[in-house]
């Protein structure tokens, strides 16, 4: 289509956002020409956050249990379907019930809805934790790949750690399905070489299923190196009361192991300011705090138990240490959502929403280098 200025305009890519959460898939892909025409999540609080940032969600976001959604109720022309289905039953920190679990088993409902669509999406994108690959000895992933294959998709498996884009260690695996009849000419069939997005364990997945499931892979650029410290994401204008009092700081320091305390002191007496994140752990029945070795955040999680929340520790110049919980804005920054409006929900609901979301920069990278070239091969996506 030619615009008023004679410039070629690319038709938007209509997409459905399953398990949409607070909308970070939309945040990632919309600048690349993806238009969300349907979204779903079961939690009202997540819709509230989504709606605060995307008011048009009122027209297309369905707050409902996916079990009660039929494919026939979705818009007819969907080219891309994304699904960041619950990870709790797949996570190594979870119960490991796998796809038999009540939460992660929602994968089957996603597959059912796709099957019921009058016209299947040309491309699907799934995201979950690395534990998906080992759940029930790898059988859960094999069953999921077979299911998607039977729906008519050729499949590619990748792994990306968000630390290549933001100062957070957040390893995730991705499955890209392309309708078999639309597999691009530059797609390879066979076993991919080891690369940034396909490390040895991912290559083994391709090896294990290459002969009995339609698998493919695309050549992708290397991942960026990523930031090395938290400085750019720290929120400096927090209320004074956010910092812990002296007694609480002393309790924190008192719980450190000898090795942890040595690290703490080394940073405290350094000639520049350092930020570290810390988790509460239980070691041999004793609750204690542990600082990360590196200067990036650990994987953000949904708020719940004590080990799910990260504290921010400020050390350096020989000053008294300062410690506090990380803020919703810092969580947003660590998820690549620096412009996200924090106007809906309680702080805990905001922390939960980001801990349960995708990293914007990672999904945008996949969109730019994979999804858009497949869905709009003649279009050059903008920087993202």
Is the pLDDT confidence value at 329 over 50?
yes
- In the prediction, which pLDDT does 102 show? 63
Q: What is the pLDDT of residues 41-57, one digit of tens each?
A: 999 999 999 999 999 99
Residue 76 clears pLDDT 60, i.e. is over it: yes
Distances (CA, A) of 62 to 44, 78, 303: 10, 16, 24
Does residue 230 form part of some domain?
A: no
Domain boundary among 326, 343, 365: 326
Among the residue ranges 39-53, 60-74, 293-307, the one predicted with the least confidence is 293-307
pLDDT over 50 (residue 1): no
Same-domain check for residues 66 and 34: yes
Query: Would 308 be classed as within a structural domain?
Result: yes
Q: Is the pLDDT of residue 107 over 60?
A: yes
- Joined together, the tokens standing for residue 384 give 């993202």
Whether 203 and 319 map to the same domain: the answer is: no
Residues 173-205: tens digit of each pLDDT: 999 999 999 999 999 999 999 999 999 999 999
Please give the share of the chain, as a percent, with pLDDT higher than 90. 80
The model's confidence at residue 9, banded by pLDDT at 50, 70 and 90, is low
Domain assignment present for 299: yes
Same domain for 248 and 219, yes or no, is no
Residue 342 lies in a domain: no
What string of DSSP letters covers 91-158?
STTS---GGGSTTTTHHHHHHHHHHHSSS--SEEEEEE-GGGGTGGGGHHHHHHHHHHHHTTEEEEEE
Q: Are the C-beta atoms of 260 and 290 separated by less than 8 Å? A: yes
Residue 136 shares a structural domain with residue 80 = yes
Q: Is residue 90 located within the same domain as residue 216? A: yes
Does the pLDDT of residue 304 top 60, yes or no?
no
Distance, in Å, from the CA atom of 91 to the CA atom of 77, rounded to the nearest integer, reads 34
List the domain range (segments joined by +) for residue 83. 13-225+357-375
The lowest-confidence range among 66-80, 93-107, 295-309 is 93-107
The set of residues, in sequence order, having a beta carbon less than 8 Å from that of 181 and lying 6+ positions away, is: 152
Look at residue 317 and tell me if it is in a domain: yes
Q: Is the model more confident about 102 or about 254?
A: 254
Confidence of residue 382 (pLDDT cuts 50, 70, 90): very low
Our count of domains for the chain comes to: 2
pLDDT value of position 169: 96
Q: Is the predicted pLDDT of residue 272 greater than 90, yes or no?
A: yes
End-to-end CA distance of the chain: 23
Q: Is the pLDDT of residue 132 over 50?
A: yes
Answer yes or no: is 347 within a domain. Answer: no
Q: Are 243 and 262 in contact (CB under 8 A)?
A: no
Closest CA to 23 of 50, 44, 55: 50
Predicted model pTM: 0.92
CA geometry: angle 108, 154, 360, nearest 5 deg:
70
- Higher-pLDDT residue of 85 and 349 is 349
Same domain, yes or no: 219 and 301:
no
HSE-CB for 291 with a 13 A CA cutoff: 27
Yes or no: say if 352 and 344 are a contact pair by the CB < 8 Å rule.
no
In a 13 Å sphere around the CA of 278, the CA atoms on its Cβ side amount to: 28
Say yes or no: 271 and 169 in one domain. Answer: no
Same domain, 164 and 50: yes
Any idea what the CATH number is for the domain that residue 106 is in?
Answer: 3.40.50.150
Mean pLDDT of the chain: 91
Does 371 fall in a domain? yes
Structure tokens at 160: 């990306």
Q: Both 210 and 244 in a single domain?
A: no
Distance, C-alpha 80 to centroid of its chain = 17
Both 192 and 302 in a single domain?
no
Residue 287 sits in the same domain as residue 192: no
Mean pLDDT of 308-335: 94
Exposure pattern of 120-142 as b/e (b: 16+ CB <10 Å)?
bbbbbbbbbbbbbbbbeeeebbb
- 96/190 same-domain check: yes
What is the reported pLDDT for 3? 45
Indicate the pLDDT class of residue 92, thresholds 50, 70 and 90: low
Nearest in space to 23 (alpha carbons), one of 288, 246, 357, 351: 357
Copy the structure tokens of residue 346: 């309680």
Considering the domain boundaries, does residue 231 fall inside one? no
Return the biggest CA–CA distance within the chain.
70
């Amino acid at each position: 289509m030619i615009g008023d200025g004679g410039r070629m305009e690319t038709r938007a890519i209509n997409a459905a956002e399953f398990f949409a959460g607070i909308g970070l898939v939309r945040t990632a892909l919309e600048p690349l020409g993806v238009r969300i025409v349907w979204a779903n999540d079961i939690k009202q609080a997540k819709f509230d956050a989504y709606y605060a940032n995307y008011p048009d969600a009122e027209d297309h976001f369905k707050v409902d249990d996916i079990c009660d959604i039929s494919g026939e109720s979705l818009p007819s022309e969907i080219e891309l379907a994304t699904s960041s289905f619950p990870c709790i039953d797949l996570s190594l920190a979870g119960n490991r019930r796998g796809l038999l679990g009540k939460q992660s088993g929602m994968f089957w409902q996603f597959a059912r809805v796709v099957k019921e669509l009058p016209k299947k999406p040309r491309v699907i994108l799934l995201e979950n934790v690395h534990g998906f690959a080992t759940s029930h000895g790898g059988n859960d992933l094999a069953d999921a790949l077979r299911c998607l294959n039977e729906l008519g998709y050729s499949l590619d498996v990748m792994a990306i750690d968000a630390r290549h884009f933001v100062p957070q260690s957040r390893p995730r695996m991705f499955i890209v399905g392309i309708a078999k009849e639309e597999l691009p000419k530059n797609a390879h069939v066979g076993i991919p070489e080891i690369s940034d997005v396909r490390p040895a364990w991912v290559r083994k997945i391709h090896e294990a299923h290459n002969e009995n499931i339609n698998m493919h892979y695309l050549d992708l650029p290397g991942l960026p190196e990523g930031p090395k410290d938290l400085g750019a994401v720290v929120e400096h204008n927090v209320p004074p009361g956010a910092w812990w009092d002296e007694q609480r700081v002393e309790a924190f320091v008192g719980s450190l192991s000898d090795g942890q305390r040595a690290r703490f002191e080394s940073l405290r007496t350094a000639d520049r300011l350092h930020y570290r994140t810390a988790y509460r752990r239980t070691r041999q029945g004793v609750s204690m705090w542990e600082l990360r070795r590196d200067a990036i955040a650990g994987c953000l999680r949904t708020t719940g138990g004590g080990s799910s929340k990260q504290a921010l520790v400020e050390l350096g110049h020989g000053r008294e240490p300062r410690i506090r919980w990380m803020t919703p804005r810092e969580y947003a920054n660590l998820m690549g959502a620096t412009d996200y409006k924090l106007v809906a929900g309680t702080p805990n609901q905001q922390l939960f929403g980001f801990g349960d979301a995708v990293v914007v920069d990672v999904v945008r990278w996949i969109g730019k280098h994979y999804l858009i070239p497949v869905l709009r091969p003649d279009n050059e996506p903008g920087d993202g």
